Amino acid sequence: MHRKRSLPQSILLYATVLFWCFIVLFPFYWLLTTSFKTQIAVSRGPNYLPRIELPFITVPNEDGELEPFVTPGDFTPTTQHWNDLFTRDRDEVVRHFRNSLIAASGSTLLAVIIGAMAGYGLSRFKYYWNRLGWDNDNIAFWIISNRFLPPALFVVPFLLLYSRLDLIDTHFGLIIAYTMFNLPFAVWIMRDFFNGLPVELEESAMIDGASRFTAFIRIVLPLSAPGLVAVAIFSFVFSWNEYLYALMLTNFEAITMPVLIAGQNNTRGIQWWFISALTLTAVAPVVVIGLLLERYITRGLVTGAIKG
């Protein structure tokens, strides 16, 4: 039976949660306010509150005349940097945004498809490697252990291989690299999720004449939708935010948003106001996807962990 918390415990819990929310959300607030600051406001030091005029609220001034209410603040916001982002620099931003979207979406799709099939195989079939004495659990651990290695370890091999295959500065090259890093996580999560699904459902379908593949497509995959969504989101976020391989494997055509943001200081100088607006543009899709599908992430990971 759930034990009711005392008042001091509840206060401590909420205070801890609020403090952690402040720690997590303050960088986003700082980016947002910086993107609306002028160059002078940024150079003056930390300014936290914008000074905004509210025309629908009027207050009397010293002469008794009504004038719009102005909120107390440290700086007057401007939309000039956002205007430049979507007008002057629109073509460049759209091109790099499209590159990130292609690489992240392509690698996510491959990771979900291959990871689901590999996870299903490790969950429903028995494998044994006589030479090493490995079974399904050993194979699954070997797969996830590949994710433990630092990505920088593979940069030089990728460069040599991609140079021979003419994959440098291509979308397909980034998709392959990102898929390689997403697959261990996808296989591990989907295997645990499939382990929690009753085998009797597939056996009943196969008794009625369905093939193993038909049962997998029509019965297993719909039931494992939360796990698929969780894998897809984590794979997309990793691919979208990945910087090292996007930097090393691209030159011009396939440069992604993280590389574009990191290179702003070299091309424009230190323009924190414009970099903040550009960073928020890059972060927005991931935040929106996470908020819309948050319940699937929690459900997919928790269900796979408990039933696995």
Rounded distance between C-alpha atoms, residue 138 and residue 129, angstroms: 10
The answer to whether residues 258 and 282 belong to one domain is yes
The answer to whether residues 232 and 158 belong to one domain is yes
Q: Which residue, 70, 102, 124, sits at the end of a domain? A: 70
- 283 in any annotated domain: yes
Per-residue tokens: 72: 């107390």
Rounded to the nearest 10 degrees, the angle between the axes of helix 294-307 and helix 225-241 is 120
At 297 the pLDDT is: 66
Q: Which residue, 39, 70, 101, sits at the end of a domain? A: 70
Q: Find, among 283, 239, 245, the residue nearest to 261 by Cα.
A: 283
Structural domain of 214: 82-307
The answer to whether residues 122 and 238 belong to one domain is yes
- 113 in any annotated domain: yes
The answer to whether residues 58 and 188 belong to one domain is no
The answer to whether residues 148 and 57 belong to one domain is no
- 14 in any annotated domain: yes
What is the total residue count of the chain?
308
The answer to whether residues 42 and 176 belong to one domain is no
Name 176's Cβ contacts closer than 8 Å, sequence gap at least 6: 107, 167
Rounded distance between C-alpha atoms, residue 256 and residue 152, angstroms: 18
Per-residue DSSP letter, 151: G
The answer to whether residues 91 and 30 belong to one domain is no
Residue with tokens 């992430």: 297
Name 307's Cβ contacts closer than 8 Å, sequence gap at least 6: 192, 193, 195, 196, 197
**Is the CA virtual torsion 181, 184, 187, 191 positive or negative?**
negative
The answer to whether residues 16 and 132 belong to one domain is no
Per-residue tokens: 259: 């590389």
Q: Which residue, 37, 70, 103, sits at the end of a domain? A: 70
**Is the CA virtual torsion 255, 257, 261, 264 positive or negative?**
positive
Name 78's Cβ contacts closer than 8 Å, sequence gap at least 6: 36, 37, 38
- 75 in any annotated domain: no
H helices within the chain, ranges in order? 7-34, 39-43, 80-86, 90-124, 136-145, 155-165, 171-195, 199-207, 212-215, 221-223, 225-241, 244-248, 257-262, 264-268, 272-292, 294-307
Rounded distance between C-alpha atoms, residue 257 and residue 240, angstroms: 8
Tell me, yes or no, if the pTM score tops 0.75.
Answer: yes
When divided into structural domains, the chain yields a total of: 2
Rounded distance between C-alpha atoms, residue 175 and residue 232, angstroms: 14
- 112 in any annotated domain: yes
Report whether 144 contacts 234 (CB < 8 A): no
CATH of the domain at 262: 1.10.3720.10
The answer to whether residues 135 and 34 belong to one domain is no
At 72 the pLDDT is: 84
The answer to whether residues 131 and 270 belong to one domain is yes
The answer to whether residues 167 and 231 belong to one domain is yes
The answer to whether residues 47 and 193 belong to one domain is no
Q: What is the pLDDT along the chain (308 residues), one digit of tens a residue?
A: 456 667 777 888 899 999 999 999 999 999 999 999 988 888 887 778 888 888 778 777 777 777 788 888 888 888 898 998 889 889 999 999 999 999 999 999 999 999 999 999 999 888 877 666 678 888 888 888 888 888 888 899 999 999 999 999 999 999 999 999 999 999 998 998 898 888 888 888 888 888 888 989 988 988 888 889 889 998 999 999 999 999 999 998 999 999 999 888 776 667 888 899 999 999 998 888 888 877 766 665 555 444 44
